[in-house]
């Protein structure tokens, strides 16, 4: 979820002929490709990156309905978003902004929006294994059939089990190279993260970010990769 507190964000139109202004607060689900977003000088924004099942638990909206879409937050969470945006614009510190968000989301979770997550245990196991599992192993962990697992993943996370495993593996690669291990070669970092050849790593990385690992390491202000960094 992205809040534009000052200025404007613009995204390239689908036909590539120009740009269009994004809502002051918007949400987006799993993307099937990277997208270029530009902003005015002095633009200030606040980005909330949810855990895989977080937004589904908060809103009750099936994740596959938001897949590859950018949606005005008010269409999903109602007028609460306008009040939250105003409160964030008057916050005097990051700590106050975090407190405002937590209070708002706690209120939503305590209401009738709270939704049971059928994948809590498998998500935990996948994180602990750094994404280095197979879909068959996920079915054994959950006791679900492959079809049930596929359906629940699309509903809760907005992607297939296999693609989710790829995303978690990529997160751990990012965590490795961003935690003081930049001196290590990309080959070593890739092996630590379950990539057994560099072309596979580069293809997977560029598919999700639009950058190669080398470009990412040399790019200042790496907003293009707003992924959850896991340990």
Task: Quote the pTM value.
Answer: 0.70
How do the pLDDT tens digits run along the chain, 231 residues long?
999 999 999 998 877 788 899 999 999 887 766 677 888 888 999 999 887 778 888 888 888 888 888 899 999 998 899 999 999 999 999 899 999 999 998 888 776 555 666 787 888 888 888 888 899 999 988 888 999 999 989 888 888 899 889 888 888 888 777 766 555 677 777 887 888 778 888 888 887 777 788 787 776 555 444 444 444
CA 141 to chain centre: 24
What are the backbone dihedrals phi and psi of residue 50, each rounded to the nearest 5 degrees, phi first? Answer: -80, 150
- The CA distance from 121 to 153, in Å, is 13
DSSP string, 40-63: -TT-EEEE----TTHHHHHH---G
Q: Which residues pair with 19 in a beta bridge?
A: 12
């Amino acid at each position: 979820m992205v809040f534009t507190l000052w200025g404007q964000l613009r995204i390239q139109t689908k036909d590539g002929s120009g740009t269009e202004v994004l809502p002051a607060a918007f949400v987006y689900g799993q993307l099937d490709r990277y997208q270029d977003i530009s902003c005015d000088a002095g633009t200030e924004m606040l980005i909330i990156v949810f855990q895989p099942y977080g937004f589904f638990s908060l809103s009750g909206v099936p994740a596959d309905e938001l897949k590859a879409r950018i949606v005005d937050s008010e269409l999903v969470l109602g007028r609460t978003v306008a009040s939250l945006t105003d409160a964030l614009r008057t916050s005097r510190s990051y700590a106050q902004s975090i407190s405002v968000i937590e209070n708002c989301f706690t209120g939503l979770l305590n209401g009738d929006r709270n939704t049971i997550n059928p994948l809590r245990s498998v998500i935990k196991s996948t994180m602990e294994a750094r994404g280095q599992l197979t879909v068959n192993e996920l079915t054994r962990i959950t006791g679900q059939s492959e079809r049930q697992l596929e359906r629940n993943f699309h509903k809760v996370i907005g992607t297939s089990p296999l693609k989710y495993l790829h995303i978690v593996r990529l997160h751990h690669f990012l965590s490795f190279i961003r935690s003081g291990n930049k001196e290590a070669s990309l080959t070593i970092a890739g092996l630590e993260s379950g990539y057994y050849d560099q072309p596979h790593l580069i293809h997977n990385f560029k598919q999700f970010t639009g950058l190669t690992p080398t470009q990412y390491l040399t790019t200042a202000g790496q907003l293009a990769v707003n992924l959850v960094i896991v340990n």
